[in-house]
Structures are given as C-alpha cells and as structure tokens.
Chains A and B, each alone.
Chain A
Amino acid sequence: MKNRIVILGVLLALGFSAQAQKYFTRDARVQFNSDTPVEKIEAVNKSGTSVLDTQTGRMDWKVLIKNFLFEKALMQEHFNENYMESTKYPNATFKGSITNLQDVNFAKDGTYKVTAKGAMTIHGVEQEITVPGTLTVGGGAVKVKADFVVKPADYKIDIPGVVRDNIAKEIAVTIDASLKPMGK
C-alpha cells in the first residue's frame, strides 16, 4: 500500500512537471534597419506577440505590420501601401521551434545560445529560416534576443528602380522581448 502511494506520488509529480510551461509577451520590440549610402531607414514595432513553450521548444511570433513606426510619416505610409501591402497582409509571423532545447535549463538562471528554425511569413510569402539568438532565464522571465537578416526579394517585396539605391537589399532585424509565464 505504501509503495503504491509512493508510485502515485511520483507519477503525479512527473505529470505536473510534464505539464507544458509557457511564456508569452504582447510587447516584444521588433526593429529593422535598412542601411545604404543614400539613406538610413529605421522602424520600430513595440507590440510584437510571442508564445514560447518550454516543454516542446515551440515558439510562435506575430507582428502587426501597421504598428511599425518610422520617423518620416510618408515613409510609413509607403511602407504599408507600396511595399508590405499591409491591408492585404496585415501580419508577419514566425512559427518554429528551438532546435537545441536540451542546451537550455529553464529552471536555472543564465544566458543560453539557441537556434530557432521554422517558417517565416512576410508579405504573404513563407520561407524556411534558421535564426540564432539568446535566451536569458532570470527573475521569472525569459528574455529573447535575436539578430537576423531579411531580404525583401525573398518575400516578393517589389522595390522599383527609382528607390533601389535607397532601400537595402538586406534588412537587419533585431528582436528584443521579455516573456512572462502564462497563467494556467
């Protein structure tokens, strides 16, 4: 009888630990820079959403294109109207997972180098990408940082001849987010 209770206890404990712990954010910072000798363009979005499942390593992101803020209002209008067509394609998304989850200990504070792999969808075009980044566990939160490059041409974002020198072929994207544990 005693044995059975112990087994039951162990099973219960296992069950709870196996329960997926998820982290989320609604205010991830996503910034991109286009740097050319002619023009520097910068835009910031401070309302990216993300959910990270520490059990499976799955990680999904969604960014509303209209929430990218530019210094120049007209640039913002053209970004939405002419390049991203944000009425037609309102979001950019990433659905993927961390490939080296075994290297991360969510129970121990520290910074871990990770690689995320998955499907990025921008302007309605899906591309498989691999992104290096870091996870920082601490203070009950998981901080996510990543830098990667997006090529407009890969996502069928058409840049006309007259502004070809103003917009970079490779856009540098920076992700900076702090994910909090999700309530059950």
Chain B
Amino acid sequence: MKKLLLLALFLANAPFLFAQDEEDLLSLLGEEEVTEYATASFKTNRVVNGHSIENTAAGVLDFKISHRFSPVRNGFYDIFGLDGATIRFGFDYGITDRLMVGVGRSSKEKIYDGFLKYKILRQSSGKKKMPITLSYLVDAQIKTVDFPEQDRENLFSSRLYYTHQLLIGRKFNERLSLQLMPTLLHRNLVESKSEKNDVLAMGVAGRIKLSKRVTLNAEYYYVLPDQINSIYTNVLSIGFDIETGGHVFQLHFTNSSDMTYKGFITETLEDWFYKTSDGKNMSGIRFGFNISRVFTIVKPKSIY
C-alpha cells in the first residue's frame, strides 16, 4: 500500500518534475517552416544600362535620371568628357511586387521607351525552395528624331524597336549576385541588307557588395556574330552603386552613350581599348551615372 502511495505521489507530480527540465519554452511550439524569398540581390532594378532581377516594390514610383558623357580620352580639353552628355529620364512603377512598368525619354535620337517586367520565379529557401529568380522583360523603343532623308517615303514602323529579355539570376550569398540575360532585339529598319532585323545577344552581369551601402557592378552584352554591322562593338560597363536612404547613385564607366536596349546592344561604336592604326587612343570609355529616387505612392494595405 505504501508503495502504491509513493507511486501515486510520483505520478501526480511527474509533470511538474519534468517541467523543470524544459530549457526552452518556445521549443514547445515547434518550428514553423516558412518560405524565405531572397531580397536585395541588387541595389536597384538596373545594373548599369540594362535591367537587374530586382523589381520596384508595389506602389512605389522610382524616378530615374541618367547621363552618359563623352569619352574621357580628351582629358582636360572637355573635362574628361563632361562637356557632352546624353540624358535619359524615366519613371518606373511597381504595380505588384512581381510586376512593374516604366517609361522614359532619351535625348539621343529622341527615343521614348516603355517596358513591362514580370518576376516569373522568385529565389527562395525554407518551405518552398527555388534556386533562381527568373524575370521576363519586354521593352519597346520609338525613335522620334527626324528621318535623315525627308524626300523618300518614311514609315512610322521604321521608328520602332522591340526587346525581349529573360533575366536569370541568383543571389549566391550576401555579397555576390549574378545574372544571365538572353536577349532578342527586333529592329524594323536596318541600315543594310547584310544586317539582321532580329539580333540575339547574351548578357551577363553581377554585383559584389563592398560595404552595406556600396556595391561594385559589372555588365556585359555579347552580340552573337554576323548579325550587326561590324563597325559596332559589345558594351561593357563597370560601376558602383551607392545607396543613401531614399536615393541610389549609380556611377559607372561604360563604352556606350546609349541608355536604350537597341542603342547599347547594337549601336555601341567605340571599344574600351581602341587604338587607331597610327596609335591614336580612341578608347570609348566614358563616365556616366543613374540616380534613382523612390516615392511611396500607394501605401501597403494596412500594415496594422
């Protein structure tokens, strides 16, 4: 009987005794696995000239103003190219966190451009796993500069250029993000019969985070051979993103004076290290910048 009593005593207090051993109260709830999406693969939605896998957030307006200057090769005569500039300004807007649109106007050839970018896949870990981010970009450009020959019949369609691009990217770690950009560019009018209306190019870009607020970016577009006039070359750009609160300053060196897809992919004239046969430096390296300023237009539906 006594034994029974002791047993009862022990059993009755068992939960209390065991309770003493629970080191971590929260472990009682169990771990809930959540899907974690990769964020901030790039500081902004452009690498240098072309797009990055980042989107403008829903309800946010991103005002961009960009300049590309003349080549730095003339030195002090034109303050390393600062005397001559081509300008693009534009507005990007996030309709949802995955869909964004934008419009812009470039001074060179008086081009208007408009685009739509959609995030098809989002890199994530945890519950749902996805190794990459995949986006689709469609961009149209209208060249509105007067036709050089006013006398011949000029069609409006000759002003149009279209770009289709897939952006396949991955944030490998906090510092390194890389992306590939297979690109198809359609030009309604080309200069000569030997040139293709449809041009295929492959872009590669990446960024390395140097500090919390500064990244080093690089971007290169390779145009597959025998599609465009051989006087044109591929565009290579290297730059820094500097983020200060609501602004991102992108300062870079590039060999293109264009900020539209048809311009920097198919009409880049001067190489980084070009020398004429008599040894004259004709390097196309030029300084440029993009400044991005964001405004929250539509506040997220009740964060409260």
- Residues in chain A within 8 A of chain B (CB atoms): 4, 7-8, 11-12, 14-16, 18-20, 22, 24, 26, 43-44, 49-51, 53, 55-56, 58-60, 62, 64, 66, 69-74, 77-78, 80-82, 87-88, 160, 162-163, 166, 182
Contacts and interface: CB of A to CB of B under 8 A. Distances in A.
B132 interface: no
B231 interface: no
B60 A12 contact: no
Contacts of A182: 28
A44 B296 contact: no
B12 A60 contact: no
A45 B19 CA distance: 30
Given A4-B1, A73-B294, A78-B245, 12 more contacts: A11-B9, A14-B13, A15-B9, A15-B12, A19-B19, A50-B26, A60-B24, A73-B57, A73-B58, A80-B40, A162-B245, A166-B245
A137 to B, nearest CB: 19
Contacts of A70: 303
Contacts of A12: 8, 12
B9 A71 contact: no
A40 to B, nearest CB: 13
Contacts of B57: 73-74
Contacts of B244: 162
B36 A66 contact: yes
Contacts of B40: 77, 80-81
Nearest to A12: B12
Interface string B276-304: 00000000000000000010100110011
Contacts of B25: 22, 51, 53, 58-60
Interface string B55-74: 00111100000000000000
A80 B16 contact: no
30 contacts: A4-B5, A7-B5, A14-B12, A15-B12, A15-B13, A15-B15, A19-B19, A22-B25, A22-B28, A24-B29, A44-B304, A49-B29, A53-B19, A55-B19, A59-B25, A66-B36, A69-B303, A71-B296, A72-B296, A73-B58, A73-B94, A74-B57, A74-B294, A77-B40, A80-B40, A81-B39, A81-B40, A88-B174, A162-B244, A182-B28
A175 B19 CA distance: 27
Contacts of B26: 49-51, 60, 62
Contacts of A16: 12
B60 A74 contact: yes
Interface of B: 1, 5, 8-9, 11-16, 19, 24-26, 28-29, 32, 34, 36, 39-40, 57-60, 94, 174, 212-213, 243-246, 294, 296, 299-300, 303-304
A18 B13 contact: yes
Q: 4 shortest A-B CB distances, which residue pairs?
A: A15-B12, A73-B57, A51-B25, A69-B303
A8 B5 contact: yes
Contacts of A18: 13, 15-16
A94 B37 CA distance: 26
Nearest to A26: B29
Contact of A77 (B9, B15, B32, B39): B39
A69 B15 CA distance: 40
A182 B26 CA distance: 12
Nearest to A60: B25
A73 B296 contact: yes
A27 B12 CA distance: 33
B16 A20 contact: yes
A16 B13 CA distance: 7
Contacts of A19: 15-16, 19
A25 B268 CA distance: 60
Contact of A163 (B32, B245, B294, B304): B245
A129 B244 CA distance: 33
A45 B194 CA distance: 61
A110 B279 CA distance: 90
A182 B19 CA distance: 14
A81 B213 CA distance: 9
A83 B13 CA distance: 47
A94 B232 CA distance: 62
A44 B303 contact: yes
Contacts of B304: 44
A127 to B, nearest CB: 19
A182 B15 CA distance: 14
A20 B13 CA distance: 10
